[in-house]
């Protein structure tokens, strides 16, 4: 009987020791750290694969931001098509265009009425954004001057695509004219602008303009005499 008790006691102690070792190993910091590392590695691989797949199907859409929420932007394109831009906390990156370079910015730097270029996967009218570039919307147009307002320092232009623009000529407007004798481009002033002249102009859109009234950033005048000489 004593021998049997000794054997049972030995087995009990052995099993208890093994169980204790197993429980200690399960809760050890080394094992927990290893599991967390494996999970993070898996997440990184998935994120990389998703990014690769999205990169292959990238397209770009530009326009004005009309609504902003935590996970989406609403975008009105240059063709007046409305898109929902879906944002990802990990994959979507934001940049500010500065001349010929870009600088990374934050999501909150994108404001309503901002002009942005969205690069991402386009599915009908939804865009899964990979990158968003914050920029300014400059438009180059050409047309004929139909009216010169010498009181308000503005001109009316019918563009080549038959749209009517009112251009305010400010002190900041860069004004140039073609010298029809030398064919050189020269600086000019408002007094040299005439009805019937052709004008190439640059304007900046914000999406909030009314009646196609803009401040001209740059104008280049081609005098009507150039075409009839």
Residue 65 pLDDT exceeds 80: yes
Instruction: State yes or no: pLDDT of 122 exceeds 80.
Output: yes
| Residue 56 clears pLDDT 70, i.e. is over it | no
Q: How confident is the model at residue 24 (pLDDT cuts 50, 70, 90)?
A: very low
Predicted local confidence at residue 79, as pLDDT = 86
Give the angle 153-158-164 at the CA atoms, nearest 5°.
80
Q: What is the DSSP string of 123-148?
A: ETTEEEEEEEEEE-EEEEEEEEEEEE
* pTM of the predicted model as reported, rounded to 2 decimal places: 0.63
pLDDT digits (tens, 9 = 90+) for 171-199: 999 999 999 999 999 999 999 999 999 99
- The pLDDT score that the predictor gives to residue 8 is 39
Q: Which residue has the higher pLDDT, 39 or 89?
A: 89
Contact 120, 133 (CB under 8 A): no
CA distance 88 to 119: 13
Does the structure show a pLDDT above 70 at 17?
Answer: no
Domains of the chain: 55-135 (2.40.50.140), 138-228 (2.40.50.320)
Q: Which helix (H) or strand (E) covers residue 23, if one does?
A: helix 2-26
- Give the pLDDT band of residue 36 (cuts 50, 70, 90): confident
Q: What is the 8-class DSSP label of residue 41?
A: H
Mean pLDDT of the chain, nearest integer: 84
Per the model's pLDDT, the better-predicted residue between 7 and 152 turns out to be 152
The pLDDT assigned to 28 comes to 56
Strands 93-98 and 126-135: parallel
């Amino acid at each position: 009987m004593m021998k049997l008790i000794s054997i049972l006691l030995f087995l009990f102690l052995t099993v208890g020791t093994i169980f204790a070792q197993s429980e200690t190993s399960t809760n050890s910091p080394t094992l927990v750290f290893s599991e967390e590392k494996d999970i993070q590695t898996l997440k990184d691989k998935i994120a990389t694969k998703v990014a690769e797949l999205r990169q292959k199907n990238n397209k770009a859409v530009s326009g004005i931001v009309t609504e902003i929420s935590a996970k989406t932007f609403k975008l009105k394109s240059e063709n007046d098509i409305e898109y929902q831009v879906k944002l990802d906390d990990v994959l979507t990156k934001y940049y500010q265009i500065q001349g010929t370079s870009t600088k990374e910015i934050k999501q909150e730097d994108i404001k309503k009425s901002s002009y942005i270029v969205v690069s991402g996967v386009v599915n009908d009218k939804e865009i899964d954004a990979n990158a968003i570039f914050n920029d300014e919307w400059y438009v180059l147009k050409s047309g004929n001057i139909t009216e010169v307002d010498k009181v308000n320092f503005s001109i009316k232009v019918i563009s080549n695509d038959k749209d009517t623009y009112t251009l305010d000529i400010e002190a900041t407007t860069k004004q140039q004219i073609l010298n029809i004798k030398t064919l050189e481009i020269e600086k000019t002033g408002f007094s040299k602008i005439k009805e019937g002249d052709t004008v190439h102009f640059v304007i900046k859109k914000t999406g909030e303009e009314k009646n196609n009234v803009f401040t001209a950033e740059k104008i280049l005048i081609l005098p009507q005499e150039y075409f009839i000489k």
